[in-house]
Structure 1
Amino acid sequence: MLQKRKKHKLSTGQQKMKDVSEAFQQNLLRDIKLDSPFREHQMTIEQLVDIYPLSRINHIQPTKSVGLNDDEAEIKLSSATEKNVIYPKNRKGGKFQAFLHQFKNTFRILLLIATFLCFLIFALDQSRTKELAMGIILAVVLIVMCFISYYEELNTFKQISTFQSMIAIDCTVIRCGRKIIIPSSDLIIGDLVWIQNGDRIPADMRLIYCDDLQVETSWLSGENA
């Protein structure tokens, strides 16, 4: 005979926290959920076993999962699409080359052509001062636009580089049923990562088993622990 479970009545404070959490999930995270290509966090362990058969996940006892073997990991590592951690690379040629790269845009190329035509018309007929003024204005607008986009790209690269410096250099993975330490840059999709006290999380991951896990995120969010 099935026994009826007792319903625990939430206090007013707990109910408010639950309402706020549900509103946050439904509204603020809605766009993130729609844009994100990852759905592993919504799947069951059994579904993960079907999707990642090479990971050899033991859905009954996850701690006894075997993981990828060395040959499979080497093949996946050679494929750029299978890499789990991507580090930003600066453009070759230095800052000047990066600035010139800002001109490689359809609209800016059209502006450059229009500027050239204005100066060409004035060179052929120096009485056409309006074309000269228009050419100068277009040139100034073009240079300002490129400087702004160059500054934004440089600032973004610095922020990404700072964030990447916080990522763990090494991590522990389970391959062939044993724990080994590898560079975080060698992590691949399907790897089983072993996290223990004091470790940094090396990449986006889906938990399949945890025991009294606590994660410190104040360094990332800026909030006090």
Structure 2
Amino acid sequence: MARRLSFDLTRNYRNGDVELNSPTTPDTPSPLLTKQHNNNKWRLKWPDFCCCSKDKNNNDPSKKEMDLSKEVTIQEHMYTFEKLCSELKTDLDNGVTDSEASYRYARDGPNAFTPPKQTPWFILLGREMSTAFAIIIWIASAISLICFFVSEPRNMQYYIITIALALVVIITGLYSYSQQASSAEIFKSFKSMVPQATVVIRGGKRIEVPADRLVIGDLVYCKAGDRIPADIRIVRCESMKVDNSSLTGESDPLSRSPEVGHQNPLEAKNLAFFSTNCVDGSGYGIVVAIGDNTVMGNIARLVTGIKQEKTPIGIEISRFTTIITVMACVDGLIF
């Protein structure tokens, strides 16, 4: 997950129970982003490694899917140009003024993802070093160390056992900590998708501004080789094609046009989404969503918000620890 994330796009035909990951590959693994054919909704499906176990409860789609269509609230792709300019208080040729851009930036904030709430690393590490199983091993290690010092002559076996038990706790704790810290790496991969700068038209002047200074209503210019800096509504373009592979997994470039088309924003040709790439042609677009409100921002929030659940080995370790603890207590009481 720390690497670049790619969300595969499929059409999921519920009536026939057929999943197509591509037109010719019906038997590929389950994707992350799927479309339900009967109600025209897009769903974000978590991969198997995000689930705690492979029991029968995980076969329930409600356990592994979140309705992404409810998160995508873009309506501007269905507006006429007159209504678009009226709603966003912008201009198709001149964009917004510098003063208006400053006001909107202060109101809406930067065009960037809000970092998720992070637990300090030392707390995460401490939790992993003080689990029930780890405490039992620490106690055993301490007893071995005491036996080493009280034995005469000194028995090196006690010392070796002490070191071995301590290493077991440290190694397993560090491994578990690395797994718990994975959400921070996921967010870094999303953060790397933000372009450094972009060209905008403000007050009729073409200027280059940092991408995080974009505001709703900005008129941006994108050409081949540029990364789309926000979710934009295309108003003019010339043979413009975008690569949506960073968002949907589709490898083929998709043409863009300013005409109103599909009602679903994820299939509309007059929208270009944040973090996708313009691979051919050029075009102008009005910014309709920035930062966390973009489609990629919603996906980043959903993914980084996955709750860490116990893995199968974690469940078995807890069970084993409980059994050993009960046996030790019973043995101590009897003998």
Sort the TM-score into its range (normalised by shorter chain). 0.5 to 0.7
Q: Post-superposition shift, 1:219?
A: 4.2
Select which of 79, 84, 96 maps to 1:48. Answer: 84
SS across alignment from 1:205: strand
Q: Which residue of 2 aligns with 1:168?
A: 195
User: Residues 66 and 97 from structure 1, CA distance in 2 versus in 1: closer, same or farther, beyond 3 angstroms?
Assistant: farther
Which one has the bigger helix percentage? 1
1:95 aligns with 2:108: no
How far, CA to CA, are the matches of 2:125 and 2:105 in structure 1?
A: 33
Stretches of structure 2 that go unaligned for 5 or more consecutive residues are 1-22, 24-34, 44-66, 127-175, 253-335
SS across alignment from 2:95: coil
Stretches of structure 1 that go unaligned for 5 or more consecutive residues are 1-16, 58-64, 101-147
User: Residues 155 and 23 from structure 1, CA distance in 2 versus in 1: closer, same or farther, beyond 3 angstroms?
Assistant: closer
Q: Which residue of 1 aligns with 2:184?
A: 157
Structure ranking higher on relative contact order (CA contacts 8 Å, 6+ apart): 1
Q: Post-superposition shift, 1:221?
A: 3.9
Corresponding letter in the other structure for 2:121: K
SS across alignment from 2:234: coil
Which one has the bigger strand percentage? 2
Q: Which residue of 1 aligns with 2:229?
A: 202
How far, CA to CA, are the matches of 2:80 and 2:110 in structure 1?
A: 23
How far, CA to CA, are the matches of 1:97 and 1:164 in structure 2?
A: 24
User: Residues 224 and 76 from structure 1, CA distance in 2 versus in 1: closer, same or farther, beyond 3 angstroms?
Assistant: closer
SS across alignment from 1:218: coil
Q: Post-superposition shift, 1:198?
A: 1.0
How far, CA to CA, are the matches of 2:218 and 2:117 in structure 1?
A: 28
User: Residues 23 and 155 from structure 1, CA distance in 2 versus in 1: closer, same or farther, beyond 3 angstroms?
Assistant: closer
* Further displaced range: 30-39 or 163-172: 30-39
CA contact (8 A) 2:113 2:191 kept: no
Q: Which residue of 1 aligns with 2:72?
A: 36
User: Residues 218 and 32 from structure 1, CA distance in 2 versus in 1: closer, same or farther, beyond 3 angstroms?
Assistant: closer
Q: Post-superposition shift, 1:72?
A: 1.2
SS across alignment from 1:96: helix
TM-score (norm 1): 0.54
How far, CA to CA, are the matches of 1:67 and 1:83 in structure 2?
A: 18
1:215 aligns with 2:237: no
SS across alignment from 2:237: coil
How far, CA to CA, are the matches of 2:113 and 2:193 in structure 1?
A: 14
Q: Which residue of 2 aligns with 1:186?
A: 213
Q: Post-superposition shift, 1:156?
A: 3.0
Corresponding letter in the other structure for 1:166: M
Measured on the aligned residues, the alpha-carbon RMSD in Å equals 3.5
Q: Post-superposition shift, 1:165?
A: 0.6
TM-score (norm 2): 0.38
CA contact (8 A) 2:243 2:250 kept: no
How far, CA to CA, are the matches of 2:218 and 2:183 in structure 1?
A: 29
How far, CA to CA, are the matches of 1:50 and 1:222 in structure 2?
A: 34
* Further displaced range: 172-181 or 33-42: 33-42
